[in-house]
């Protein structure tokens, strides 16, 4: 019985030593990571991921959101609807806002949508393609040389 108590006390002391030594992200911080001060089981990969996420967030904040304001209210984020087809295309967008566009061949239009999850579907001569999903957010994408927050295109 005495031996079992000693083992339990030893395990508890080891657990406290692990926690106090900077194990993983419980006590790890960026200063330790930058200085290489990781002891025992230090989780440098977790801190590296946190630093990467912070840099991505800073980059995202530095990108100006392309919005249209009317009477002080944002109409949403800039995007492009594009018909890359040789025939007229009916493009439907479903989500927080629902929009429909009947577009001539090789035509594009700039539209502003509020943030959220959307799906787009295009139909040519009554034949509709599968729905594609996209997200409207502050993140930008490069589409035909333009920075936009989203795009939908007809390729049927």
* 12: Cα separation from own chain's centroid: 42
Write the CA distances from 98 to 29, 57, 62, 111, 138, integer angstroms. 46, 29, 30, 12, 20
Instruction: Please name the residues in contact with 38: beta carbons below 8 A apart, sequence gap of 6 or more.
Output: 22, 28, 32, 44
Give the chain's mean pLDDT.
79
Q: What percent of the chain has pLDDT over 70?
A: 71
Helix (H, G, I), strand (E, B) or coil at 5: helix
Domain ranges of the chain: 2-62, 67-154
- DSSP E strands: which ranges in the chain? 67-70, 73-83, 89-94, 99-103, 107-113, 116-124, 127-128, 132-136, 141-143, 146-148, 150-154
pLDDT score of 21 more than 70: no
Q: Are 62 and 56 in contact (CB under 8 A)?
A: no
pLDDT, tens digit (0-9, with 9 covering 90-100), for 41-88: 545 666 677 777 777 667 656 666 666 667 777 678 889 999 988 899
Q: Comparing 57 with 140, which gets the higher pLDDT?
A: 140
pLDDT score of 137 more than 80: yes
Residue 26's pLDDT band (boundaries 50, 70, 90)? very low
Write the CA distances from 6 to 10, 15, 44, integer angstroms. 6, 14, 33
Instruction: Please name the residues in contact with 85: beta carbons below 8 A apart, sequence gap of 6 or more.
Output: 105, 106, 124, 154, 155, 156
* pTM, full prediction: 0.56
Architecture of domain 67-154: Sandwich (2.60)
Strand partners, 50: none
């Amino acid at each position: 019985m005495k031996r079992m108590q000693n083992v339990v006390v030893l395990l508890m002391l080891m657990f406290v030593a692990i926690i106090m030594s900077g194990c993983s992200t419980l006590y790890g911080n960026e200063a330790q990571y930058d200085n290489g001060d990781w002891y025992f089981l230090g989780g440098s990969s977790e801190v590296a991921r946190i630093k990467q996420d912070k840099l991505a967030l800073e980059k995202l904040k530095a990108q100006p959101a392309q919005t249209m304001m009317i009477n002080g209210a944002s109409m949403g984020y800039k995007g492009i609807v594009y018909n890359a087809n040789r025939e007229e295309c009916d493009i439907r967008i479903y989500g927080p806002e629902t929009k429909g566009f009947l577009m001539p061949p090789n035509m594009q239009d700039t539209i502003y949508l509020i943030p959220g999850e959307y799906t787009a579907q295009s139909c040519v001569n009554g034949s509709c393609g599968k729905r594609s999903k996209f997200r409207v957010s502050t993140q930008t994408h490069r589409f035909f040389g333009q920075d936009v927050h989203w795009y939908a295109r007809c390729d049927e």
